[in-house]
Amino acid sequence: MVSYIASAPMEGVTRSVFRAAHWAQFPGVDTYFTPCLAPTADGMFSEKEIREVRPEVNGGAPTVPQLLTARAEHFLWAARDMMALGYTQVDLNLGCPSGTVVSKHKGAGMLADPEVLDRFFHEVFEGLQGENLQISVKTRIGLEDKDNFPRLMEVFNRYPICLLTIHPRLRRQFYKGKPDLEAFGLGLEQAKIPVCYNGDIFTTEDARCIQAQFPAVERLMLGRGLVANPALAREIRGGAPLTGEELRQFHEAILEGYCACIQGEVNVLHKMKELWNYWGCLYPENKKGQKAIYKSRSLADYRRASQAVLAEDPVKNGAFSPDFL
């Protein structure tokens, strides 16, 4: 049985506008993780970064900021900034596969050396001792291979991490290929801390298969599947499938949200078209309508094109191919 469902941090996608709109309309998600903040040596976030994590922009959605850094001192000041905003949990990103991130030994780059990661955690947990702040971690199973994964699990187990989300892919895979469920299972057996599964859950059947193979897994993190089908968490919990009217309302809430906080039609269109990279799988037969959406150059053109597609009923959960994503 699923006791906890999280919305994954997706750069440029699960921003505050998405989180607030989703929380207002679709039940089922327990926690929303923000796209990562990258603390640096100057000891402060930009105003743009802070705007994305001010509690009031989340629309009441239970939210956890995710931090991307390989320096314990940077993590500490950033974590304290988040506490000052009222957050009681922050997440460490050990999964980002971006080349520019990994080259700086951040994200998945930190997985290359378990001893360095161990020292990082030691400094962080020692520095935050006595503070009212929980630390969670989202990780992959390795950089180029999974040989270090058992050692990484030893490091994780040594600290009071409140939740370890495992995405069972290597960094070099990015999001291609199949998740390594054998490696995940070994990590689950080794874990002495709460574990959450993340990776290729696009349908309720995908969730059932993970739970059938790993009955101890009660926590799931949904990424691309939840963006493509915003009702997915509700469906996994036994609720009703997505309707066309719900998606139309969700679309309008996000569009209006972006119009209110982003300057320039071109920038708003860019954000909305990015979401259609996922919603398109709900309308697999309407290639012409989707092409019109991507070709739109004004909000008026975009509204006409998107409304024409949204007038159709979306394909029900389980009927679309995740290959689209």
pLDDT tens-place string over residues 188-213? 999 999 999 999 999 999 999 999 99
**What count of Cα atoms within 13 Å lies in the side-chain half-sphere of residue 121?**
26
Cβ atoms of 199 and 179 closer than 8 Å: yes
> Which of 253, 255, 244 lies closest to 299 in space, CA to CA?
255
What pLDDT does 48 receive?
87
Kindly state the percentage of the chain with pLDDT values over 70: 97
Angle at the Cα of 281 (from 1 to 166), degrees rounded to 5?
40
Q: What average pLDDT does the chain have? A: 94
Rounded to whole angstroms, the Cα distance separating 230 from 245 reads 12
Rounded to whole angstroms, the Cα distance separating 312 from 105 reads 46
Rounded to whole angstroms, the Cα distance separating 296 from 306 reads 10
**Sheet-wide strand order for 89-94:** 63-64, 31-33, 4-7, 219-222, 195-198, 163-170, 134-142, 89-94, 66-67
For the CA atoms of 100, 180, 92, 323, the dihedral, rounded to the nearest 10 degrees, stands at 60
- DSSP H or E stretch at residue 100: helix 99-102
**What is 111-135 written as a DSSP string?**
GG-HHHHHHHHHHHHHHTTTSS-EE
Cβ atoms of 10 and 94 closer than 8 Å: no
What pLDDT does 315 receive?
80
> Which of 48, 54, 62 lies closest to 19 in space, CA to CA?
62
pLDDT, tens only, 248-277: 999 999 999 999 999 999 999 999 999 999
What pLDDT does 41 receive?
79
Rounded to whole angstroms, the Cα distance separating 43 from 106 reads 17
- Its pTM stands at 0.95
Cβ atoms of 169 and 179 closer than 8 Å: yes
Residue that is written with structure tokens 């101890």 in the block: 216
What pLDDT does 44 receive?
85
Rounded to whole angstroms, the Cα distance separating 87 from 77 reads 14
β-sheet bridge partners, residue 63: 32
Q: Which pair of structure tokens corresponds to residue 188? A: 């689950």
Low-confidence stretches of the chain (pLDDT < 50) are none
| Residues found in the chain | 325
Cβ atoms of 225 and 203 closer than 8 Å: yes
Q: Residue 304's CB: how many other CB atoms inside 10 A?
A: 13
Cβ atoms of 115 and 63 closer than 8 Å: no
Q: Which pair of structure tokens corresponds to residue 152? A: 């990484």
What pLDDT does 1 receive?
85
What pLDDT does 250 receive?
98
What pLDDT does 277 receive?
94
Dihedral sign for Cα atoms in the order 94, 19, 236, 174: negative
